[in-house]
Amino acid sequence: MATIHENMLTELFENLVKQFIQDNLEKIMKAEIKSFMDDDDHSGHNSRNGYYKRSLHTKFGYIDDLQVPRDRNGDFHTQVFQPYQRRDGWLEEAVIQMYKCGMGTRDVARFIESMFGSHYSPSTVSNITATVLEDIQNWQSRPLKRRYSVIYLDGLYVKLKRSTVSGEVIYFAMGIDEDGHRQILGFYVGGQESANGWRDVLKDLYQRGAQEVLLGVFDGLPGLDDAFRETYPKADVQHCIVHKVRSTFPKIRVQDKTDFIDDLKTIYNALDHDLALAAFDTVKAKWGKKYPKEIQSWEEQLPTLLTFYKYPELIKAAIYTSNPIERMNKEFRKRLKPMNSLTTIDAAEKIIYLDVLDYNETYSSRVIRGFGDAVVKKELALMFEERYPAAVTHEPA
Asked whether the CA dihedral 257, 259, 264, 265 is positive or negative, the reply is positive
Judgement on whether residues 71 and 163 belong to the same structural domain of the protein: no
Q: Round to whole Å and give the CA distance between 287 and 195.
A: 32
User: What's the rounded mean pLDDT across residues 7-27?
Assistant: 70
Together in a domain, 20 and 77: yes
Indicate whether 379 pLDDT > 60. Answer: yes
Q: Is residue 159 assigned to a domain?
A: yes
Question: pLDDT band at 46, cuts 50/70/90?
Answer: confident
Residue among 272, 271, 252, 273 nearest 262 (CA)? 252
C-alpha 351 chain-centroid distance: 10
The mean per-residue pLDDT over the stretch 155-178 comes to 86
DSSP 263-305: HHHHHHTSSSHHHHHHHHHHHHHHHTTTSHHHHHHHHHHHHHH
| Domain contains 305 | yes
Residues 115 and 264 in one domain: no
- Give 274-325 pLDDT, tens digit per residue: 999 999 999 999 999 999 999 999 999 999 999 999 999 999 999 999 988 8
- Residue that is last in its domain, among 48, 72, 87: 87
202 with 307, same domain: the answer is: yes
* Residue 393 covered by a domain: no
Report which DSSP code applies to 342.
Answer: B
Would you say residue 122 has pLDDT above 70?
no
The answer to whether residues 358 and 210 belong to one domain is yes
365-377 pLDDT tens trace: 899 999 999 999 9
186-232 tens-digit pLDDT: 999 878 889 999 999 999 999 999 999 999 999 988 899 999 999 99
Q: Domain span at residue 61?
A: 2-87
Say yes or no: 195 and 274 in one domain: yes
Residue 261 phi/psi, 5-degree rounding, is -65, -40
205 in the same domain as 56: no
Q: Do 243 and 372 reside in the same domain of the chain?
A: yes
Q: Is residue 397 part of a domain?
A: no
d(CA 280, CA 365): 39
- Tell me: do 174 and 29 sit in the same domain: no
**Considering its fold, how many domains does the chain have in total?**
3
What confidence tens digit (pLDDT) does each residue in 256-276 have?
999 999 999 999 999 999 999
| Domain-ending residue, one of 69, 87, 105 | 87
The answer to whether position 395 is within a domain reads no
Contact 382, 206 (CB under 8 A): no
What are the residues whose beta carbons fall under 8 Å from the beta carbon of 220, sequence distance 6 or more?
239, 240, 243, 244, 247, 301
Q: Are residues 158 and 298 in the same domain?
A: yes
Domain shared by 201 and 336, yes or no: yes
The answer, yes or no, to whether residue 340 has pLDDT greater than 80, is no
341 and 259 belong to one structural domain: yes
Domain's final residue, options 87, 113, 131: 87
Residue 168 has pLDDT above 70, yes or no: yes
* Band (106; pLDDT cuts 50, 70, 90): low
**pTM score, whole prediction:** 0.70
Q: Is residue 68 part of a domain?
A: yes
